[in-house]
Amino acid sequence: MTLAIFDLDNTLLSGDSDHAWNEFLVEEGIVDAESYRQANDRFYQDYVNGDLDILRYLSFALAPLARHEPAQLDRWRAQFMDKKIRPMMQSKAAALVDHHRSQGHTLMIITATNRFVTEPVAEALGIEHLIATEPEMINGQYTGGVAGIPSFQDGKVVRLDDWLSHQQLTLDGAWFYSDSHNDLPLLKRVTNPVAVDPDPTLSTYAQAQSWDIISLRD
- Could you give the residue numbers annotated as active site? 7, 9
- Any bridge partners for residue 133, and if so which? 114
Distance between CA atoms of residues 162 and 128, nearest Å: 17
Q: In what order do the strands lie in the sheet with 129-138?
A: 141-147, 129-138, 106-114, 3-6, 175-178, 192-196, 212-214
Question: In the chain, at which residue ranges do the beta strands (DSSP E only) sit?
Answer: 3-6, 106-114, 129-138, 141-147, 175-178, 192-196, 212-214
Of 116, 133, 157, 162, residue with least CA distance to 5? 157
